[in-house]
Amino acid sequence: MIVVEAKSFAQVAAMTSDCRRLLVAACAGCTAVCGVGGERQAEELADALRLHARLRGKVLETEVRGVTRQCEPEFVAEFAPAMGRAEAVLTLGCGVGAQFLAERYPNVPVLPGVNTRFAGGLTAPGVWEERCRLCGDCVLHLTGGICPRTRCAKGIMNGPCGGAAGGFCEVGGGSPCAWLLIWERLERLGRAGVLDEIGPPPDWSDAQAGPRRSGKGGGAE
Amino acid sequence: MRGVSGLARLLGAGHFVVTCEVGPPKGVNVDGLTEKAALLKSFVDAANVTDCQTAVVRLSSIAACVHLAAMGLEPVVQMTARDRNRIAVQSDLLGAYSLGIRNVLCLTGDHQKFGNHPGAKGVFDLDSVQMVEMVRRLGAPGEFQCGEPVCGEPPVFFVGAVENPCAEPLELRVRRLEKKIRAGARFVQTQCVYDLDRFRHFMGLVRARGLHEHAHILAGVTPLKSVRMARFMRDAVAGVYVPDEVVARIEAAADPAAEGVAMCVEQIAALREIEGVAGVHIMAVAWEAIVPEIVRRAGLYPRPADDEPKDRNR
């Protein structure tokens, strides 16, 4: 799923400081799962912003609305009545949701309440880890089902580099060296010979050609 | 644009070669660089110029190599994948070749996080193995990575790579070295060796695969200058393995720098005895001035003459 993190309250307060009627837009998709973008969090944030404004002698009216997913037009349409009443919308949806709001409601400023981080999965309670860089050129069949482009700090295809120490990446953060994981897994599978082939250079021609498109059920058009 | 690598010629003739490392300045004044070249040129067969090592911006390796060559020192340009995509690597290497540089060492490069611009975007479009293959193909059959032919004379570099002989798992390191050699590496410089037993074991694995017959392997050494440096190398430098006994020996010495030099000389003597080691690569980080003494005391002076004319540049 898409992993997001809340922006700091100070950032959000600064972003919304000129606004008198604010719509706080929740999303019940990934950002709600991350515990930052659901309706409950939107209510709490709205309360805090109103209090913050009052302490500064200002009046802020807030309205909270949520939809199933901000990344689909038919759900985004549900915001229409509230958008008509708002000066600006603070969205707790991911970057995709925020842009869908901006497209659908061209006259309402869209303010991001979260930072959209990566495609990841839960590795410990409340901890998500990036597992896919969305490069569009999957090599997991060559690497034991472990993505070096994502999990190696240098994203290299013929690792490990000279910096791995004690099984961990030199870059830190307690990440195991992806190439040691790949080696161990391929050894276990009796397929370590795959590593004797030169891993191919990545093909970025699709990933860096503007927004990508994909048809239902798979392959890009 | 004729001329081949002097380093390749000496290795091919079976000489035990000595190379060293030179760090370019963090600015445009090359006085220090030319002083180093004057000091080093009769003691080493070639000098590697680092490419923004530890991701700190410095004078470009290619420019520094040209300065060294003008001083009569055979340069090895280091080229990292960190800062350049495949277009820039090939373009820079065409430029280097046109300026007379014939040796290139292909490296993935230190992560940008450790340098003075930690917010920079690391490129890593290719890794070192892919880069070795690309550079070999530039020379023969003379084509770019995309498959298009190079116009005119192909740039035939003497292509080098690195390997870390003391990092685990050793078997994986050796297999990866084999991959680099199959990709086209003709010389290999290793990370610095302090644990000779581990290195002997590594070389045993290298010989078992016959790798030393396909590439010249130069063992890396770094003289320890102080107790602080010894501890730092042991504790903080990724990829370097310094046994506690080595640190203890420096700690116990009345003159740690002299002990570090003595130890380095002993290491070189031991490395010379290992079958398949074709030379040493002295990485005297910020202490290049000590290289002549090490080379002399290791019995590696004078260096063999390279009879070929040096006027290959223009």
Q: Are B118 and A171 in contact (CB under 8 A)?
A: no
Q: Which of A133, A142, A158 to mutate to test the interface with B (most CBs of B within 10 A)?
A: A158
A126 lies in some domain: no
Q: ipTM for the complex?
A: 0.91
Q: How far is A167 from chain B (nearest CA, A)?
A: 8
Q: What is residue B77's three-state secondary structure?
A: strand
Residue A109, preceding peptide bond in cis (omega within 30° of 0): no
B307 lies in some domain: no
Q: What is residue B189's three-state secondary structure?
A: strand
Give the CA distances from residue B177 to residues B16, B106, B161, B182, in Å, rounded to whole numbers and listed in that order: 21, 13, 8, 9
How many domains is chain A partitioned into structurally? Answer: 2
Q: Tell me the residues of B at the A interface, defined by beta carbons under 8 Å apart.
A: 81-82, 86, 108-111, 113, 122, 124-130, 133, 145, 162-164, 167-169, 172, 175-176, 178-179, 182-183, 191, 238-239
Q: Which of A142, A150, A152, A161 to mutate to test the interface with B (most CBs of B within 10 A)?
A: A161
Q: What are phi and psi of A139, to 5 degrees?
A: -120, 15
Cβ–Cβ gap A161/B108 under 8 Å: yes
pLDDT at A172: 84
Bridge partner list, A218: A215
A154 and A114 part of one domain: no
A31 and A61 part of one domain: yes
B15 lies in some domain: yes
Cβ–Cβ gap B167/A159 under 8 Å: no
Show the domain range for B137: 6-297
A204 lies in some domain: no
pLDDT at residue A221 tops 50? no
Question: What residue ranges in B32-102 does DSSP mark as E strands?
Answer: 46-49, 75-80
* CA dist., res. A22 & res. A17, Å (int): 10
A111 and A145 part of one domain: no
Q: Which of B130, B135, B191 to mutate to test the interface with A (most CBs of A within 10 A)?
A: B130
Contacts of residue A67, Cβ cutoff 8 Å, sequence gap at least 6? A25, A26, A27, A28, A75, A76, A78, A79
Tens digits of per-residue pLDDT, B41-74? 999 999 999 999 999 999 999 999 999 999 999 9
Compute chain B's Rg from CA coordinates: 19
DSSP readout, chain A? -EEEEEPPHHHHHHHTTT-SEEEEEEESSHHHHTTSSSHHHHHHHHHHHHHHHHHTT---EEEEEEES-TTSHHHHGGGHHHHHH-SEEEE-S-HHHHHHHHHH-TTS-EEE-EEEEEEEEEEETTEEEEEE---S---TTTTTT--HHHHSTT--SS---TT-BTTB-TT-TTPBPHHHHHHHHHHHTT-GGGGGSPPPPP--TTTTSSS---BTTBS--
Positive or negative: CA dihedral A196, B221, B28, B58:
positive
Cβ–Cβ gap A156/B108 under 8 Å: yes
Residues in chain B with CB shorter than 8 Å from the CB of A193 are none
Q: Are B52 and B80 in contact (CB under 8 A)?
A: yes
Chain A residue whose CA is closest to B174: A196
B306 lies in some domain: no
Contacts of residue A131, Cβ cutoff 8 Å, sequence gap at least 6? A119, A120, A121, A147, A150, A151
Cβ–Cβ gap A201/B125 under 8 Å: yes
B304 lies in some domain: no
pLDDT at residue B278 tops 90? yes
Tens digits of per-residue pLDDT, A1-23? 999 999 999 999 999 999 999 99
Cβ–Cβ gap B167/A162 under 8 Å: yes
pLDDT at B313: 40
pLDDT at residue B308 tops 50? yes
pLDDT at A219: 57
State the residue for tokens 């950002």. Answer: A31
A209 lies in some domain: no
Bridge partner list, A16: none
* CA dist., res. B230 & res. B243, Å (int): 10
Give the CA distances from residue A202 to residues A66, A105, A158, in Å, rounded to whole numbers and listed in that order: 39, 38, 12
Q: What is the CATH number of the domain that holds B175?
A: 3.20.20.220
Q: Which of A139, A150, A154 to mutate to test the interface with B (most CBs of B within 10 A)?
A: A154
Q: What is residue B106's three-state secondary structure?
A: strand
pLDDT at residue B307 tops 70? no
Positive or negative: CA dihedral B49, B53, B59, B61:
positive
B105 lies in some domain: yes
Cβ–Cβ gap A162/B162 under 8 Å: yes
A111 and A164 part of one domain: no
A9 and A105 part of one domain: yes
DSSP readout, B226-273? SHHHHHHHHHTSTT----HHHHHHHHH-SSHHHHHHHHHHHHHHHHHT
Q: How many CA atoms lie within 13 A of A183 on its CB side?
A: 20
**A155, A170, A201: residue with CB nearest B238:** A170
Q: How far is A120 from chain B (nearest CA, A)?
A: 21
State the residue for tokens 């002399």. Answer: B296
A213 lies in some domain: no
Say what percent of chain B tops pLDDT 90: 92
B161 lies in some domain: yes
Residues in chain B with CB shorter than 8 Å from the CB of A195 are 172, 175-176, 179
Helix H, strand E, coil C: the string for A13-36 is: HHHCCCCCEEEEEEECCHHHHCCC
Confidence of residue A215 (pLDDT cuts 50, 70, 90): confident
Cβ–Cβ gap A198/B179 under 8 Å: yes
A21 and A112 part of one domain: yes
Cβ–Cβ gap A155/B124 under 8 Å: yes
Q: Are B218 and B279 in contact (CB under 8 A)?
A: yes
Count CB neighbours of A4 within 10 A.
28
Tens digits of per-residue pLDDT, A120-165? 999 999 999 999 999 999 999 999 999 999 999 999 999 999 888 8
Q: Which of A198, A203, A204, A205 to mutate to test the interface with B (most CBs of B within 10 A)?
A: A198
A187 lies in some domain: yes
Mean pLDDT of A71-91: 98
A26 and A101 part of one domain: yes
Q: How far is A45 from chain B (nearest CA, A)?
A: 31
Mean pLDDT of B77-105: 98
Mean pLDDT of A199-210: 88
B276 lies in some domain: yes
Q: Whole-number mean pLDDT of chain B?
A: 95
Show the domain range for A175: 135-194
A156 lies in some domain: yes
Quick one: DSSP state of residue B149? B
Confidence of residue B95 (pLDDT cuts 50, 70, 90): very high
A216 lies in some domain: no
pLDDT at A25: 98
Residue type, A117: R
Q: How far is A157 from chain B (nearest CA, A)?
A: 7
Cβ–Cβ gap A162/B169 under 8 Å: no
CA B85 from centroid of its chain's CA atoms: 21
A130 lies in some domain: no
> What's the full length of chain B, in residues?
314
* CA dist., res. A156 & res. A178, Å (int): 10
B1 lies in some domain: no
Q: Are B68 and B37 in contact (CB under 8 A)?
A: yes
How many domains is chain B partitioned into structurally? Answer: 1
Chain B residue whose CA is closest to A199: B130
Q: How far is B100 from chain A (nearest CA, A)?
A: 29
What distance separates the 2 farthest-apart alpha carbons in chain B?
61
